[in-house]
Structure 1
Amino acid sequence: MLTLRKASVDDAALISEMGCASYMHHFAHLWREQSELQDFLRQEYAVPTLQQSLQDGKRCWFIARDPSPVGFAKVSWHRAVDDHGPVGTQLHKLYFLPGKTGLGYGETLLTEIARVAKSRGETALWLEVLDANPNAHRFYRRLGFTHLKETLFSTPSQKSTLHILCKLL
């Protein structure tokens, strides 16, 4: 049975390990340059960076366990999609370890995030998803997210299209 808890600064090393493992498993094939991928992972999952983020009151990290850790999520409270809105909780990350997707964990974790966001007075939940990730698109659309707009993620060697999806709470 999946259990969820808010992560603390003591979870930085665990999130770093899970973040690198899950990202490499699910997304490494999308990167043209391995050096850019390694730079990205260092920026996103360095323990000091995570420790700082875990102490930021504008963000929240969740750890999912069954009974050992299987994944995590990161949100930012009360963030605007752009200058024209909407404003709501931004889901930055919803990642599961290799072999732990397709088990219903994502829906459970996302439902809890939506519940917490709504209890904080948020009226929307939004996220960015890679155009090259059709499974995530299907997942989020099945859960009521709709397309708002597109944006780009760029590195020196490539550009990737991101779709911004939103769900009213």
Structure 2
Amino acid sequence: MIHWIKKILGLARRERITTELIEQLPAHRLCRKYIDGELATDMESEVFDNIMCAVELHAEVVNGGFNQYYYNSGGERTERAENTFAKLGAMQIADVVKRANEQYAASRDELHSIWDGTKEGFSHGYKEKIFDAFDDEYYALMKNDKQLYTLIGTYIKQHPKDFLTQ
């Protein structure tokens, strides 16, 4: 309970990332601790930011599909998310993201002219079913959050030197 209170108040000391920690924790828990900021890491690093691109895409797509992802992100980090999934070894997911990115690029001008901040504008992509096939494929491949966390945690375990705390 005390640790939880310290965490809320920002007084909790983040745990160092060591070889032992990487080896001991199950992949999904290692990832959660990493992305939740419980581990001392450089949150400004490229590797952390790339992983967060994939986490952000996943969260948006699971919540409201690719339409919501592109609406909220403006497509700014789509290529990095795609590349991160490939780096994590999730080639099928990277392919779905790549094709969704291509569809977004082809539809960008139309969508941006309609996405005017209203519910109707936001719903246009859903009504036109622009991203439905990609949503279905993504959901079939990525069944739950734990699957993503395991992918990331496994990557950390395979590349520990990129994550160890000095």
TM-score scaled by structure 2? 0.30
Q: Which has the larger radius of gyration?
A: 2
More helix by share: 2
- With a CA cutoff of 8 Å and minimum separation of 6, indicate the structure with the bigger relative contact order: 2
